[in-house]
Amino acid sequence: MKLRYGYNINGDYMNIVICDDNPIICEDISNYINNHFKCTVSIAANSAQLFDIIENSENKIDALILDIVLNESKNGIEIASSIHNKYPMIKVIFLTGYDDQYYSRIFSDFQPFGFVAKPVQYNILNFFLKKIQIELIRKNEHIEFTSDYKSHRLMAKDIVCVQSRKRICEISTETNVYSAYAKISDIEKQLPENFIRCHQSYIVNIEYIESTTGKHLILKNGDHIPVSRKYSNNVSTLLSLSS
C-alpha cells in the first residue's frame, strides 16, 4: 500500500481552499476565515480550479471546504474522494444543504473531517477549523531530552522515528541520531497524534512513511521498521484514517 503525506511547516498558520460554485458564499466564508484565523485562503469555482490550486500550491493545503453539489458532472463526494486518494492529509469539510441525503455515500469512501449546513453555520465552521489549527500546533511542538550530557529541543515534525535500545532511546531525524537516556513511553507522551507506536521498541512519524507491507513500515529513507502483533491493529487503524 502506497502512502502519501505532507505537513505545514508554519505552526498554526493554515492554508485553506474553498470550493463552491456560488461566488457570494465563497467570498463570505473567505472573509470570515481571514478575520478569525492566521491563514491563506484560496477560492475555486469548480474541480478544475480546485485541483490546480492544490497541485501548484507552494505550501501543503491543510483544509478544503467543499460544496457537495456543484454544477458539473462530478459531485463534491467524488471530487473529495479523488483528492483524498492523492492528498490524504487534507482535511475535508463538506458544505451541504441536503441534510443526510449523501452521508452514506460519503462514509463508504473515506472519513470527512466535518459537515457544515447551508446557510453556513459559522459557529460550526469555526469549531472544525480550530480543531485543524490545534492539530497543526501539536505537530510543531517541541520535545526535550538529554543526549551526551547536553539538553536538546527538537520540533516533533522533524523526528522520523524513535527506537528503544535497553535504557537508551535513539531519536532519529533526517540528519542526526540522538541517544537519549529516557524510556520510550516517556518520549511517546511528548509526541503528537501523527506518531504511531508500532512495536515495543519503535515509534514512527506518519509523515515519513512511504509504504507498508503489513509486517513492516517502510520509511522514505528506505528503513524497514517492524510492526509487532501487539500493535498491528493500532497501526492499521491509524493508517486507514490517513490513507
Domain shared by 86 and 134, yes or no: yes
The tens-digit pLDDT sequence of the chain (243 residues) is 333 333 344 456 899 999 999 999 999 999 999 999 999 999 999 999 999 999 998 888 999 999 998 888 888 888 998 998 888 789 999 998 765 565 556 656 667 889 998 999 999 999 999 999 887 877 667 788 888 888 888 888 889 999 998 889 999 999 999 999 888 998 888 888 788 999 999 999 988 998 888 789 999 999 999 999 998 887 877 776 555
- CATH at residue 88: 3.40.50.2300
Domain shared by 87 and 198, yes or no: no
Name every residue whose Cβ is closer than 8 Å to that of residue 178 and which is 6 or more positions away in sequence. 145, 147, 152, 154, 170, 171, 172
Cross-strand bridge partners of residue 216: 226
Last residue of a domain, one of 139, 172, 187: 139
Report d(CA 126, CA 35) in Å as an integer: 11
Domain shared by 112 and 172, yes or no: no
Domain shared by 153 and 90, yes or no: no
Q: Indicate whether 99 belongs to any domain.
A: yes
Q: Is the entire prediction scored with pTM above 0.85? A: no
Q: Write a three-state SS string for 53-74.
A: HHHHCCCCCCEEEEECCCCCCC
How many domains are there within the chain?
2
Report d(CA 27, CA 64) in Å as an integer: 15
Report d(CA 67, CA 20) in Å as an integer: 5
Q: Indicate whether 53 belongs to any domain.
A: yes
Q: What is the CA radius of gyration of the chain?
A: 20
Last residue of a domain, one of 139, 171, 197: 139
Name every residue whose Cβ is closer than 8 Å to that of residue 5 and which is 6 or more positions away in sequence. 88, 89, 206, 207, 208, 209, 242
Domain shared by 83 and 105, yes or no: yes
Q: Indicate whether 6 belongs to any domain.
A: no
Domain shared by 97 and 173, yes or no: no
| C-beta separation of 117 from 148 below 8 A | no
Domain shared by 134 and 208, yes or no: no
Which among 97, 102, 103 is positioned nearest to 116, based on CA atoms? Answer: 97
| C-beta separation of 142 from 153 below 8 A | yes
Domain range enclosing 215: 142-242
